[in-house]
Amino acid sequence: MQRMNNVTEFILLGLTQNPKLQKLLFPGFLITYVITLAGNLLISFTIFITPALGSPMYFFLYYLSIIDGFYSSSTAPTMIFGFINEKNTISFNGCMIQLFVVHSFAGAEIVLLIVMAYDRYVAICKPLHYTTIMRRPVCFFLVGMAVFVGFLHGGIQISLLVQLPFCGPNVIDHFICDLIPVLKLACADTHILGPLITANSGSMCLLIFSMLLTSYIVILRSLRNHSAEGRRKALSTCASHITVVILFFVPCSYLYLRPMISFPTDKAVMVFCTIVTPMLNPLIYTFRNAEMKNAMKKICGQIMNTADK
């Protein structure tokens, strides 16, 4: 890989080059990252030790929280350290690894979201067959498929990208290594390969978002035959999931369903997609879910009782 390239490292310009603004942003994003990790860890820990949260819905939420933690960790540390480093650099191999990890976990989350939509479809539209269809081995298979497809997606991105020569310049106008900023530095004609690489992400976003939209249209239509209480409970659960889907897919579509052109808003959208959304996901699922809130209150009560003793 290095034989083809004169570039051994990239310089990341970061979110901003204003030193005063960097000092202001550093504590804010550090706190956001800590909240993201703590929130997702709290959800996964609560589900893991609470037998009452053993349904497939919470099983998938457990793995979504884990994926969100890794997804945020693939970008946030690079950006946060960039605020306090005068020269923020990343090796060529490190850049390729970051690209692979970011797109692998993003791909895994995308597929897991459609798995969670399928779970809600079976629970609402086929309630009598739910326990038969969503057996634990099936749930493990679906999570495994999500991870496999995610890492396959990341592998395809990198296998196409490393074929390009990089001979300079090596300055990336971004806070992480992302597809379009890195492709702009290639010493080759990327008019064909570039759109092919970005289309891999864009088409995945569009296809799965269309599938999710279709599944929720079917679910909403089926709710007409449910009782008022059943509709309320189903809508509450689905509303949380739909909110997460919108928060994830709108930024993803903006970044990759367009020509290979960089816009000033790209950095802000990437921050929202990789840092803000993983922080909001546990809040959305917790605040709208009475079972999760009750389980967390019980755990907190047990911890307080243990501390008093």
* Percent over 70 (pLDDT), the chain: 90
Other Cβ atoms less than 10 A from the Cβ of 291: the count is 14
| Mean pLDDT over the full length of the chain | 83
- Residue 104's pLDDT is what? 92
Residue 22 is part of a domain; what is its CATH number?
A: 1.20.1070.10
Q: Domain range spanning residue 143?
A: 2-308
Whether 248 contacts 109, CB under 8 Å: yes
pLDDT digits (tens, 9 = 90+) for 91-134: 999 999 999 999 899 889 988 988 988 888 888 888 888 889 99
State the Cα–Cα distance between residues 281 and 65, nearest whole angstrom.
Answer: 8
pLDDT at 286 over 90: no
- Residue 294's pLDDT is what? 84
2-6, 66-70, 164-168: the lowest-pLDDT one: 2-6
Alpha carbon distances (Å) from 158 to 155, 189, 284? 5, 17, 33
Number of domain units in the chain: 1
pLDDT at 238 over 80: no
Mean pLDDT of 17-30: 89
Mean pLDDT of 40-44: 90
Whether 252 contacts 215, CB under 8 Å: no
Tokens of 97: 């690894």
State the Cα–Cα distance between residues 258 and 126, nearest whole angstrom.
Answer: 38
Higher pLDDT, 290 or 130: 130
Dihedral (CA of 235, 270, 94, 14) sign:
negative
Whether 22 contacts 16, CB under 8 Å: yes
Mean pLDDT of 123-148: 91
**pLDDT class of 143 with cuts at 50, 70, 90:** very high
